[in-house]
Amino acid sequence: MTELNGTVSAPFEPVRNAVLDQLQSGAEVGLSLAVDMDGEKVVDLWGGHRDAAHTQPWQRDTITNVWSITKTVTSLAALLLVDAGDLDVHAPVARYWPEFAANGKQDIEVRHLLSHTSGVSGLDHPARLEDLYDVREAAARMASQAPWWRPGSASGYHVLNYGHLVGELVHRLTGLSLRDFVRRHIIEPLGADFRIGLDEADLGRVAGVIPPALDFDPSALDHDTVAYKTFTGPSFRASAANSPAWRAADLGAASGHGNA
Protein backbone atom coordinates (compact mmCIF):
# COMPACT_ATOMS: atom_id res chain seq x y z
CA MET A 1 0.00 0.00 0.00
CA THR A 2 1.27 3.46 -0.91
CA GLU A 3 1.79 5.67 2.13
CA LEU A 4 1.91 9.44 2.32
CA ASN A 5 3.63 10.89 5.38
CA GLY A 6 4.00 14.35 6.81
CA THR A 7 1.73 17.26 7.63
CA VAL A 8 -0.29 20.00 6.00
CA SER A 9 -2.04 22.95 7.59
CA ALA A 10 -5.83 22.86 7.38
CA PRO A 11 -6.30 25.13 4.33
CA PHE A 12 -3.90 22.91 2.37
CA GLU A 13 -5.64 19.59 2.98
CA PRO A 14 -6.62 19.48 -0.74
CA VAL A 15 -2.92 19.42 -1.54
CA ARG A 16 -2.50 16.24 0.52
CA ASN A 17 -5.44 14.68 -1.31
CA ALA A 18 -4.04 15.62 -4.71
CA VAL A 19 -0.59 14.25 -3.88
CA LEU A 20 -2.04 11.00 -2.52
CA ASP A 21 -4.12 10.63 -5.69
CA GLN A 22 -1.00 11.02 -7.82
CA LEU A 23 0.75 8.29 -5.87
CA GLN A 24 -2.16 5.88 -5.78
CA SER A 25 -2.90 6.31 -9.48
CA GLY A 26 0.70 5.54 -10.37
CA ALA A 27 1.27 8.96 -11.95
CA GLU A 28 4.03 9.41 -9.37
CA VAL A 29 6.22 6.64 -7.95
CA GLY A 30 7.61 8.63 -5.04
CA LEU A 31 8.00 12.25 -4.05
CA SER A 32 8.52 14.90 -1.44
CA LEU A 33 6.75 18.25 -1.40
CA ALA A 34 7.22 21.26 0.85
CA VAL A 35 5.56 24.64 0.71
CA ASP A 36 6.71 27.57 2.82
CA MET A 37 4.41 30.56 3.18
CA ASP A 38 5.79 33.64 4.89
CA GLY A 39 8.18 31.53 6.93
CA GLU A 40 5.58 28.94 7.92
CA LYS A 41 5.84 25.42 6.51
CA VAL A 42 2.27 24.77 5.39
CA VAL A 43 2.99 21.59 3.42
CA ASP A 44 5.59 18.97 4.33
CA LEU A 45 4.84 15.66 2.61
CA TRP A 46 6.76 12.61 1.43
CA GLY A 47 5.69 9.18 0.30
CA GLY A 48 5.61 6.46 -2.29
CA HIS A 49 8.74 4.59 -3.27
CA ARG A 50 12.23 5.48 -4.39
CA ASP A 51 12.56 2.65 -6.89
CA ALA A 52 10.56 1.56 -9.91
CA ALA A 53 9.93 -1.87 -8.40
CA HIS A 54 8.17 -0.27 -5.41
CA THR A 55 10.32 -2.13 -2.89
CA GLN A 56 12.00 0.80 -1.11
CA PRO A 57 9.82 3.41 0.61
CA TRP A 58 10.50 7.08 0.04
CA GLN A 59 11.74 8.42 3.38
CA ARG A 60 11.82 11.92 4.80
CA ASP A 61 15.54 12.19 3.96
CA THR A 62 15.37 10.59 0.50
CA ILE A 63 17.13 12.68 -2.12
CA THR A 64 17.02 12.53 -5.89
CA ASN A 65 18.63 14.15 -8.90
CA VAL A 66 16.94 17.51 -9.48
CA TRP A 67 18.39 18.16 -12.94
CA SER A 68 18.35 21.84 -13.95
CA ILE A 69 17.21 23.08 -10.56
CA THR A 70 20.95 22.70 -9.94
CA LYS A 71 21.47 25.74 -12.18
CA THR A 72 19.51 27.87 -9.71
CA VAL A 73 21.96 26.99 -6.94
CA THR A 74 24.93 27.50 -9.26
CA SER A 75 23.72 30.97 -10.22
CA LEU A 76 23.14 31.75 -6.55
CA ALA A 77 26.79 30.89 -5.88
CA ALA A 78 27.84 33.45 -8.49
CA LEU A 79 25.44 36.03 -7.09
CA LEU A 80 26.96 35.65 -3.64
CA LEU A 81 30.26 36.72 -5.20
CA VAL A 82 28.49 39.60 -6.92
CA ASP A 83 26.97 40.66 -3.61
CA ALA A 84 30.42 40.52 -1.98
CA GLY A 85 31.80 42.82 -4.68
CA ASP A 86 34.15 40.16 -6.06
CA LEU A 87 32.33 39.54 -9.34
CA ASP A 88 30.96 42.14 -11.75
CA VAL A 89 28.22 40.82 -14.06
CA HIS A 90 29.08 43.49 -16.66
CA ALA A 91 32.79 42.66 -16.71
CA PRO A 92 34.31 40.47 -19.41
CA VAL A 93 34.61 36.85 -18.35
CA ALA A 94 38.28 37.12 -19.36
CA ARG A 95 38.94 39.54 -16.48
CA TYR A 96 38.65 36.56 -14.13
CA TRP A 97 39.39 33.76 -16.59
CA PRO A 98 41.92 35.09 -19.15
CA GLU A 99 41.95 31.95 -21.31
CA PHE A 100 38.27 32.45 -22.06
CA ALA A 101 39.11 35.35 -24.39
CA ALA A 102 40.28 32.90 -27.09
CA ASN A 103 38.55 32.66 -30.46
CA GLY A 104 36.66 35.94 -30.32
CA LYS A 105 35.21 35.63 -26.83
CA GLN A 106 37.07 38.56 -25.29
CA ASP A 107 33.89 40.64 -25.02
CA ILE A 108 31.62 38.00 -23.50
CA GLU A 109 30.45 39.29 -20.14
CA VAL A 110 29.70 37.43 -16.93
CA ARG A 111 26.00 38.19 -17.37
CA HIS A 112 26.05 36.30 -20.67
CA LEU A 113 27.15 33.14 -18.90
CA LEU A 114 24.46 33.56 -16.26
CA SER A 115 21.70 34.21 -18.82
CA HIS A 116 22.53 31.47 -21.36
CA THR A 117 23.52 34.03 -24.01
CA SER A 118 27.27 33.42 -24.20
CA GLY A 119 27.23 31.41 -27.43
CA VAL A 120 29.07 28.57 -25.69
CA SER A 121 26.26 26.13 -24.92
CA GLY A 122 28.24 22.91 -25.16
CA LEU A 123 31.46 21.23 -26.21
CA ASP A 124 32.69 21.23 -29.76
CA HIS A 125 32.77 17.76 -31.29
CA PRO A 126 33.98 15.21 -30.50
CA ALA A 127 32.23 15.20 -27.14
CA ARG A 128 31.33 12.42 -24.73
CA LEU A 129 29.43 12.69 -21.48
CA GLU A 130 32.53 11.41 -19.70
CA ASP A 131 34.40 14.52 -20.89
CA LEU A 132 32.26 16.66 -18.60
CA TYR A 133 33.21 14.79 -15.45
CA ASP A 134 36.67 16.38 -15.49
CA VAL A 135 35.28 19.85 -14.93
CA ARG A 136 38.57 21.76 -15.12
CA GLU A 137 39.59 20.12 -18.39
CA ALA A 138 36.10 20.54 -19.88
CA ALA A 139 36.07 24.21 -18.90
CA ALA A 140 39.46 24.66 -20.57
CA ARG A 141 38.04 23.19 -23.78
CA MET A 142 35.10 25.59 -23.64
CA ALA A 143 37.50 28.49 -23.10
CA SER A 144 39.33 27.58 -26.32
CA GLN A 145 36.19 27.35 -28.49
CA ALA A 146 34.61 29.93 -30.74
CA PRO A 147 31.02 30.85 -29.80
CA TRP A 148 28.22 29.22 -31.80
CA TRP A 149 26.29 32.50 -32.14
CA ARG A 150 27.00 36.17 -31.55
CA PRO A 151 27.23 36.51 -27.76
CA GLY A 152 24.44 38.50 -26.20
CA SER A 153 22.28 38.41 -29.33
CA ALA A 154 20.16 35.40 -28.42
CA SER A 155 19.52 32.89 -25.67
CA GLY A 156 20.50 29.25 -26.11
CA TYR A 157 20.04 26.91 -23.17
CA HIS A 158 23.37 25.78 -21.68
CA VAL A 159 22.01 22.31 -20.93
CA LEU A 160 24.99 20.53 -19.38
CA ASN A 161 27.79 23.10 -19.29
CA TYR A 162 26.24 25.95 -17.28
CA GLY A 163 28.05 24.78 -14.17
CA HIS A 164 31.37 24.45 -15.97
CA LEU A 165 31.27 28.09 -17.10
CA VAL A 166 29.87 29.68 -13.94
CA GLY A 167 31.74 27.22 -11.74
CA GLU A 168 35.05 28.14 -13.34
CA LEU A 169 34.47 31.77 -12.34
CA VAL A 170 33.75 30.62 -8.79
CA HIS A 171 36.93 28.56 -8.84
CA ARG A 172 39.08 31.38 -10.24
CA LEU A 173 37.85 33.81 -7.59
CA THR A 174 37.83 31.55 -4.54
CA GLY A 175 40.10 28.60 -5.29
CA LEU A 176 37.18 26.31 -4.42
CA SER A 177 35.37 23.91 -6.68
CA LEU A 178 31.74 24.81 -7.29
CA ARG A 179 30.52 21.92 -5.13
CA ASP A 180 32.77 22.95 -2.23
CA PHE A 181 31.80 26.62 -2.49
CA VAL A 182 28.10 25.73 -2.54
CA ARG A 183 28.49 23.44 0.45
CA ARG A 184 30.48 25.95 2.50
CA HIS A 185 28.59 29.14 1.66
CA ILE A 186 25.04 28.02 0.89
CA ILE A 187 24.22 24.53 2.13
CA GLU A 188 25.90 24.54 5.54
CA PRO A 189 24.72 28.03 6.59
CA LEU A 190 21.14 27.14 5.64
CA GLY A 191 21.22 23.57 6.88
CA ALA A 192 19.83 22.53 3.49
CA ASP A 193 19.82 18.91 2.37
CA PHE A 194 21.31 19.51 -1.07
CA ARG A 195 24.47 18.34 -2.82
CA ILE A 196 26.24 18.96 -6.09
CA GLY A 197 28.07 15.69 -6.42
CA LEU A 198 27.25 13.03 -3.85
CA ASP A 199 29.49 11.64 -1.16
CA GLU A 200 29.62 7.91 -0.49
CA ALA A 201 27.55 8.38 2.67
CA ASP A 202 24.61 9.73 0.67
CA LEU A 203 24.31 6.94 -1.87
CA GLY A 204 22.10 4.74 0.29
CA ARG A 205 19.26 7.28 0.35
CA VAL A 206 19.11 8.24 -3.33
CA ALA A 207 15.95 7.70 -5.35
CA GLY A 208 16.94 6.60 -8.82
CA VAL A 209 15.74 8.42 -11.92
CA ILE A 210 13.12 6.47 -13.87
CA PRO A 211 13.86 7.33 -17.51
CA PRO A 212 11.00 8.25 -19.84
CA ALA A 213 9.78 5.56 -22.23
CA LEU A 214 11.13 7.61 -25.13
CA ASP A 215 14.33 9.59 -24.62
CA PHE A 216 14.90 12.68 -26.72
CA ASP A 217 16.97 11.83 -29.81
CA PRO A 218 19.00 14.82 -31.04
CA SER A 219 19.99 13.02 -34.25
CA ALA A 220 16.69 14.15 -35.77
CA LEU A 221 17.76 17.79 -35.54
CA ASP A 222 19.37 19.68 -38.40
CA HIS A 223 23.08 19.09 -37.88
CA ASP A 224 23.92 22.70 -38.74
CA THR A 225 21.85 24.15 -35.91
CA VAL A 226 22.92 25.32 -32.49
CA ALA A 227 20.32 22.99 -31.00
CA TYR A 228 22.03 19.97 -32.55
CA LYS A 229 25.47 21.13 -31.41
CA THR A 230 24.18 21.72 -27.90
CA PHE A 231 22.34 18.43 -27.50
CA THR A 232 25.25 16.45 -28.92
CA GLY A 233 27.94 18.40 -27.15
CA PRO A 234 27.66 15.88 -25.52
CA SER A 235 24.48 13.85 -25.96
CA PHE A 236 23.10 12.02 -22.93
CA ARG A 237 20.16 9.95 -21.74
CA ALA A 238 18.17 10.40 -18.55
CA SER A 239 19.44 7.07 -17.25
CA ALA A 240 22.94 8.61 -17.00
CA ALA A 241 21.80 10.22 -13.76
CA ASN A 242 21.82 6.78 -12.13
CA SER A 243 25.49 6.13 -12.88
CA PRO A 244 28.10 6.44 -10.11
CA ALA A 245 30.12 8.87 -12.25
CA TRP A 246 27.18 11.27 -12.70
CA ARG A 247 26.20 11.12 -9.05
CA ALA A 248 29.72 11.98 -7.93
CA ALA A 249 30.38 14.67 -10.55
CA ASP A 250 30.57 18.42 -9.93
CA LEU A 251 28.02 19.20 -12.66
CA GLY A 252 26.57 22.55 -11.72
CA ALA A 253 24.05 22.29 -14.55
CA ALA A 254 22.32 19.05 -13.70
CA SER A 255 23.79 16.74 -11.03
CA GLY A 256 22.38 18.39 -7.92
CA HIS A 257 20.59 16.09 -5.48
CA GLY A 258 18.12 17.16 -2.84
CA ASN A 259 14.59 16.87 -1.53
CA ALA A 260 11.74 19.22 -0.79
Active site (catalytic) residues:
68
Q: Are 87 and 114 in contact (CB under 8 A)?
A: no
Count of alpha carbons within 13 angstroms of residue 94, beta-carbon side:
13
Nearest alpha-carbon partner for 254 in 178, 173, 149, 172: 178
Q: How many CB atoms lie within 10 A of CB 18?
A: 11
User: How many Å apart are CA 18 and CA 157, to the nearest integer?
Assistant: 32
Residue 255 sits at φ, ψ, to 5 deg, of -105, 20
Nearest alpha-carbon partner for 70 in 200, 158, 199, 174: 158
